[in-house]
Amino acid sequence: MTTHSDGAFLSVAVALEGQGPCIAEARHTAAGFLTRMRAEYGIAVSQRAVEVTQLVVSELVTNAQKYAVGPILLDLRIAGDLVEVQVWDSDPVLPVARAADAGRVGQHGLQIVMAVCQGFEATREPVGKRITARLALTDDPLGVSAWTSR
């Protein structure tokens, strides 16, 4: 975990093998990171934020494991009132969300990620690509979450 001298953000980065139990390891890392931020640094992190972050991490790491060869890098950081989730893999092809199709089985992960995050971007790197999702650390200040308002 890194704390910058100006206190701008806290982060953790892990390299995942890209096979086997790496999805569970990534979810565990995300939950542990946010729990530590709340307990050790007093950062406001709702239980919903922990669960949604685990969902996003799971979807992004699953895609990286499915479509890329080799290791996967997961970087989580606190940036203001957001948690930023970055996943790097070796495949340079940028993901594209498919049109909604209730009859399609699977391949809805990117749609789910984009529906729950405050920001999303996919960029090519000199090797591979980096996917970044930004998620709110707290629930709606009025107490109306996206889950209950639908």
Task: Write down the residue that tokens 């089985």 correspond to.
Answer: 105
- Sequential DSSP letters for 83-108: EEEEEEES--PPP-PPPP-TT--S--
Would you state the pLDDT for residue 9? Answer: 57
Q: Which residue has the higher pLDDT, 23 or 112?
A: 23
Report yes or no on 147 lying in a domain.
no
Which is more confident, 112 or 133? 133
Q: In the chain, count of helices (H) and strands (E)?
A: 3, 6
Look at the chain and report how many structural domains it folds into. 1
Could you read off the pLDDT of 69-124 as tens digits, one per residue? 999 999 999 999 999 999 999 999 998 877 766 776 666 788 889 889 999 999 99
Q: What is the mean pLDDT of the chain?
A: 85
Q: Quick check: is 148 in a domain?
A: no
* Bridge partners, residue 119, by sequence: 134
Query: Per the domain annotation, does 144 fall within a domain?
Result: no
Is 124 inside a domain boundary? yes
Residue 70 located in a structural domain: yes
CATH value at residue 58: 3.30.565.10
Residue 30's domain spans which residues? 2-136
Whether 119 is in a domain gets the answer yes
Share of the chain above pLDDT 70, in %: 82
Residue 80 within any structural domain of the chain: yes
